[in-house]
């Protein structure tokens, strides 16, 4: 039997592999899957058609351009389907794993079915509409719409609503008797484990059978349980009399499993259940489906946290969005599987599948790797107060639960995220109270539905940090577990407020288990700072933020766990900031390159010894030499779960340091050119990490005959910026120092809103290098660069950061404070360079527009040691300069 089982799974893999390439799959076990992911054409206007393959989205590119908004409307897909003669007489259906967000499916011009909601599977019967004549070309047409529709969640959110058939499509062929495919997109097989302990476990199977023929059938239903090695554990065979044109649900209890192998993050043992519908006369299999299951039991305790299989377990991991660099949400399954593998490699044991159900391979991989999970439907920010919206929410919840019911990784179903973030009817107290009551009513409806559907798992809502509002509205009383999305020290408040909030929950909701379902700070991997502050987007601030949050959660037993927001950066088209259209809170970039924060989480969460030079990603550095010395001292961070680390620079020890909150930090004297760093544990030198840093040493002061080549300066900034595309390193400015360079007069631009302390977070038009233009010196009188005599090219960068159409620069403002932008000012000035007028009556806003990149270049010959002097003459308002570059030509 073990050998048979191995052969069986091998055949299934072959079938699935063939299906993925759209090949006809020979019938072997009663049903056939045929992949339909190639040979499609696509059009927005139904005049111009492009050849495409699935998965596909029409928003992969337009969400990243400077134009506000992206295409949200109709897209039409077409494909020819020729039916193999062997499938004649079969029951045929189209299986869509995900289409965003409204779909109409036509076969030969006739409507076959509709689906509402962009994140769950749906199955459309098409047998009656197909022409199965040999060689006949049936036309499949799928009309997709990702428009805003007030009846369909999500209504608004801090992520992009990509349109398209962005997951796989297949043709399913079954006999007239088969496992029912019409139950909210599920496969008609539901397996529960009502009782599990270390000594024994029970298995209950609910199978839904369908007979689309008119004749009654005498059948047998066989259900077999296999252990993780493929050995049969038990089997049950029972007769079934299935009437014609009916669906019937069969319940079976299998034999008790003694000493079961338990499923856990450290040992994710998966059993298999195979259900077969058998013809008792011929003994042939009419239809067969299978599912993996895991034996585990768990509970949340409001005082002591989470327990799995009787043992305490801190749930630590991340949330995840499904898009990927250059692909939008049309991501191959191999890359999606890799995401879960990366979470495991980080040391995580939990995935919040947010804010919507994702590709089926996500939970399949969680099952296989031992990652616990929650899944939710996309009711985000707000609701619509009508019956259609409510019914759509209920259908989404049912689809999510029934399609994912058998996954041992899933321990919670969720249904709302930050639903009071942007409450409607501000200023109309009575109307707003009614709106809140409708939210509460919808929440209770979904809670009741979920508990009825699945009493074995917990329910959860994720709430933003407005404790009083959620508690006052009554939402904290409804779910079994509260998830808090907290950002003290980021969107507002201080880092110390995070721990205070946790203790407040414990005092005021002592019987309610809690998770931290979101926390994080943006980390633009191109931005670095030795003086990190809130909202500067530096990697260094994100490191500090993460240390505080991880420490506070780990030391409180009542905090069941924490999910960093987010595993990877993700698309949010409405965002502006340093990297427009991207939420940079990921531990990985949109293309899945690790940031420093990724290594920090590994240091906190991994069990095996770990050392990593977190600053390794900053492998091209620049800085000003220390006084007259031939090096520049800059900090380097090492992340580790070991108590001691020794750091070497070019083979010379810089000493041993104790780790503090999983970080050791050295001030490293970088020399010009190549610098090799090696970090190791003194007791175990073989535990080490190495990084090579290329350093461009800038002179502390210029001298005759200096080898100076280039200088790139950000005015009004306290951060470094790495332009990888052009291999340019930008440094923060300094006040003028004789023999060197710097500004004279003025002050750093003090933020376009109340959230940031310097610079602007506006999307700068006509550039991808926004950080160059997002800071500036305001009221500058002069700029001096005491370069030696010679020929130079000077580049000046301007952008008017005040004025223009007001736009809330963040999709979210989780501190509930009003963000106010300073009003525009008239700004006109002249600029002289070395006494010669270069710009006259320069009005940036009038000439170029607001928040628009302006780049001016001039070549200069420096004589008689005069250096380069820029004089700003105000005519109206205060002159500005955002950045400058100077390059020696000869």
pLDDT at residue 450, as a whole number = 98
Kindly tell me if the per-residue pLDDT of 22 is higher than 70: no
**Cβ atoms < 10 Å from Cβ of 334:** 8
Q: What is the mean pLDDT of the chain?
A: 93
pLDDT at residue 804, as a whole number = 80
Give the residue among 222, 262, 285, 232 at the shortest CA–CA distance from 27: 285
Residues 6+ away with beta carbon under 8 Å from 757: 533, 534, 535, 536, 750, 751
Q: Which helix (H) or strand (E) holds 546?
A: helix 539-554
Largest CA distance in the chain: 106
pLDDT in tens, 314-362: 999 999 999 999 999 999 999 999 999 999 999 999 999 999 999 999 9
C-alpha 607/C-alpha 674 separation (Å) is 34
Residue found by looking up tokens 């490191």 in the block:
543
Return the higher-pLDDT residue of 473 and 755.
473
pLDDT at residue 708, as a whole number = 80
Tokens, residue 640: 């580790």
- Residue 765: phi and psi, rounded to 5, are -70, 150
pLDDT at residue 14, as a whole number = 37
**Cβ atoms < 10 Å from Cβ of 583:** 25
Under DSSP, is residue 644 helix (H, G, I), strand (E, B) or coil?
Answer: strand
List the 102-107 sheet strands across, edge first. Answer: 50-52, 40-43, 74-81, 138-145, 102-107, 110-116
Count of H helices and E strands in the chain? 11, 58
**Cβ atoms < 10 Å from Cβ of 182:** 14
- Residue 7: phi and psi, rounded to 5, are -65, -40
Three-state SS across 575-632?
Answer: CCCCCCCEECCCCECCCCCECHHHHHHHHHHCCCCCEEEHHHHCCEEEEECCCCCCEE
C-alpha 84/C-alpha 136 separation (Å) is 10
C-alpha 671/C-alpha 651 separation (Å) is 14
C-alpha 221/C-alpha 206 separation (Å) is 11
C-alpha 786/C-alpha 792 separation (Å) is 12
Residues 6+ away with beta carbon under 8 Å from 570: 159, 160, 321, 323, 582, 583, 586, 590
pLDDT in tens, 700-741: 998 765 678 899 999 999 999 999 999 999 999 999 999 999
pLDDT at residue 19, as a whole number = 36
The band of 26, judged by pLDDT with boundaries at 50, 70 and 90, is: very low
Give the residue among 741, 686, 688, 682 at the shortest CA–CA distance from 710: 741
The band of 20, judged by pLDDT with boundaries at 50, 70 and 90, is: very low
Tokens, residue 671: 């020399």
Kindly tell me if the per-residue pLDDT of 1 is higher than 90: no
The band of 803, judged by pLDDT with boundaries at 50, 70 and 90, is: confident
Residue found by looking up tokens 């340019």 in the block:
728
Give the residue among 459, 485, 474 at the shortest CA–CA distance from 397: 459
C-alpha 33/C-alpha 90 separation (Å) is 12
Secondary-structure percent of the chain, ordered helix, strand, coil, rounded to 5: 15, 40, 45
Tokens, residue 60: 């992969």
Under DSSP, is residue 128 helix (H, G, I), strand (E, B) or coil?
Answer: helix
C-alpha 604/C-alpha 597 separation (Å) is 11
Cα dist from 42 to 57, 61, 327, 337, whole Å: 10, 16, 16, 27
Kindly tell me if the per-residue pLDDT of 446 is higher than 60: yes
pLDDT in tens, 392-440: 999 999 999 999 999 999 999 999 999 999 999 999 999 999 999 999 9
Tokens, residue 91: 């029951």
Residue found by looking up tokens 């999510």 in the block:
400
C-alpha 396/C-alpha 376 separation (Å) is 9
pLDDT in tens, 43-81: 999 999 999 999 999 999 999 998 889 999 999 999 999
Give the residue among 97, 279, 80 at the shortest CA–CA distance from 176: 279
Cα dist from 693 to 106, 499, 623, whole Å: 58, 37, 13
C-alpha 352/C-alpha 414 separation (Å) is 10
Percent of the chain with pLDDT over 90: 90
Percent of the chain with pLDDT over 70: 94
Query: Span 560-580, mean pLDDT?
Result: 96
Residues 6+ away with beta carbon under 8 Å from 433: none
pLDDT in tens, 654-663: 999 999 999 9
- In DSSP terms, 77 is beta-bridged to 42, 142
Residue found by looking up tokens 């134009």 in the block:
67
pLDDT in tens, 221-276: 999 999 999 999 999 999 999 999 999 999 999 999 999 999 999 999 999 999 99
Cα dist from 836 to 573, 779, 832, 840, 860, whole Å: 44, 20, 5, 11, 11
pLDDT at residue 756, as a whole number = 83
């Amino acid at each position: 039997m073990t050998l048979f089982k191995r052969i069986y799974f091998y055949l299934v893999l072959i079938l699935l592999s063939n299906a993925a390439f759209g090949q006809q799959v020979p019938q072997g076990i009663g049903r056939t899957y045929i992949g339909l992911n190639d040979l499609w054409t696509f059009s927005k206007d139904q005049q111009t058609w492009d050849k495409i393959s699935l998965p596909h989205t029409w928003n992969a590119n337009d969400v990243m351009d400077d134009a506000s908004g992206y295409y949200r409307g109709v897209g039409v897909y077409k494909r020819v389907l020729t039916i193999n003669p062997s499938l004649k007489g079969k029951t045929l259906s189209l299986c869509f794993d995900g289409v965003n967000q409204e779909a109409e499916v036509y076969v030969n011009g006739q409507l076959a079915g509709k689906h509402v909601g962009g994140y769950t599977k749906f199955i459309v019967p098409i047998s009656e509409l197909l022409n199965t004549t040999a060689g006949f070309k049936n036309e499949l047409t799928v009309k997709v719409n990702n428009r805003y529709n007030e009846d369909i969640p999500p209504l608004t959110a801090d992520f992009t609503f990509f349109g398209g058939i962005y997951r796989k499509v297949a043709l399913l062929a079954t006999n007239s008797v088969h496992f029912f495919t019409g139950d909210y997109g599920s496969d008609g097989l539901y397996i529960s484990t009502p009782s599990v302990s270390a000594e024994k476990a029970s298995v209950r199977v609910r199978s839904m059978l369908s007979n689309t023929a008119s004749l009654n059938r005498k059948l047998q239903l066989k259900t077999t349980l296999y252990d993780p090695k493929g050995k049969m554990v038990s089997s049950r065979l029972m007769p079934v009399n299935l009437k014609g044109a009916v669906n019937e649900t069969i319940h079976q209890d299998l034999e008790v499993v003694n000493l079961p192998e338990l499923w856990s993050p450290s040992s994710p043992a998966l059993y298999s259940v195979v259900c077969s519908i058998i013809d008792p006369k011929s003994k042939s299999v009419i239809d067969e489906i299978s599912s993996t299951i895991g034996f585990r039991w768990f509970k949340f305790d409001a005082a002591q946290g989470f327990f799995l299989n009787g043992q305490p377990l801190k749930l630590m991991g991340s949330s995840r969005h499904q898009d990927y660099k250059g692909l939008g949400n049309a991501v191959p399954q191999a890359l999606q599987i890799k995401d879960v593998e990366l979470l495991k490699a980080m040391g995580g044991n939990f995935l919040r599948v947010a804010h919507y159900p994702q590709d089926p391979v996500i939970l399949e991989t969680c099952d296989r790797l031992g990652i616990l999970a929650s899944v939710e439907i996309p009711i985000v920010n707000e609701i619509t107060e009508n019956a259609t919206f409510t019914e759509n929410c209920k259908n989404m919840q049912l689809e999510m639960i029934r399609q994912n019911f058998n996954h041992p990784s899933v321990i919670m179903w969720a249904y709302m995220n930050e639903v009071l973030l942007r409450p409607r009817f501000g200023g109309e107290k009575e109307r707003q109270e009614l709106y809140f009551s409708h939210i509460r009513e919808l929440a209770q409806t979904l809670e009741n539905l979920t508990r009825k559907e699945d009493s074995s798992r917990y329910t959860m809502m994720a709430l933003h940090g407005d404790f009083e509002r959620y508690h006052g509205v009554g939402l904290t009383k409804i779910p079994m577990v509260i998830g808090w999305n907290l950002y003290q020290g980021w969107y507002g408040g201080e880092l110390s407020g995070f721990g205070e909030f946790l203790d407040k929950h414990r005092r005021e909701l002592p019987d309610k288990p809690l998770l931290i379902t979101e926390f994080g700070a943006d980390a633009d991997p191109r931005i670095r700072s030795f003086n990190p502050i809130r909202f500067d987007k530096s990697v260094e601030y994100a490191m500090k933020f993460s240390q505080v949050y991880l420490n506070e959660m780990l030391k409180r037993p009542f905090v069941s766990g924490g999910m960093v927001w987010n595993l990877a950066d993700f698309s949010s088209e409405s965002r502006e900031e340093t990297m427009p259209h991207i939420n940079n809170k990921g531990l990985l970039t949109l293309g899945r390159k690790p940031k420093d924060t990724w290594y920090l989480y590994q240091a906190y969460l991994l069990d095996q010894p770990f050392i990593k030079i977190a600053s390794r990603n900053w492998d091209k550095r620049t800085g000003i030499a220390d006084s007259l010395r031939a090096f520049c001292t800059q900090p380097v961070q090492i992340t580790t779960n070991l108590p001691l680390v020794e750091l070497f620079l070019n083979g010379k020890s810089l000493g041993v340091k104790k780790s503090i909150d999983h970080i050791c930090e050295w001030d490293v004297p970088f020399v010009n050119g190549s610098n090799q760093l090696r970090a190791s544990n003194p007791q175990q030198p073989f535990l080490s990490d190495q990084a090579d840093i290329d350093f461009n040493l800038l002179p502390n002061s210029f001298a005759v005959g200096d080898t100076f080549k280039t200088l790139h300066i950000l005015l009004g900034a306290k951060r470094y910026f790495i332009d990888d595309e052009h291999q340019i390193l930008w440094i923060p400015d300094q006040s003028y120092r004789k023999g060197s360079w710097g500004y004279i007069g003025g002050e750093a631009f003090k933020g376009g809103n109340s959230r940031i302390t310097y610079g602007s977070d506006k999307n700068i038009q006509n550039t991808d290098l926004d950080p160059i233009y997002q800071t500036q010196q305001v009221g500058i009188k002069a700029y001096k660069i005491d370069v030696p005599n010679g020929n130079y090219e000077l580049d000046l960068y301007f952008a008017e950061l005040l004025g223009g159409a007001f736009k809330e620069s963040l999709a979210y403002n989780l501190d509930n404070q009003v963000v106010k932008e300073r009003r525009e000012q008239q700004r006109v000035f002249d600029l002289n360079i070395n006494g010669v007028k270069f710009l006259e009556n320069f009005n940036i806003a009038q000439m170029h527009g607001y928040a628009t990149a302006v780049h001016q270049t001039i070549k200069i010959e420096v004589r008689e040691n005069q250096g380069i002097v820029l004089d700003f003459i105000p005519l109206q308002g205060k002159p500005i300069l955002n950045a400058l570059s100077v390059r020696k030509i000869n």
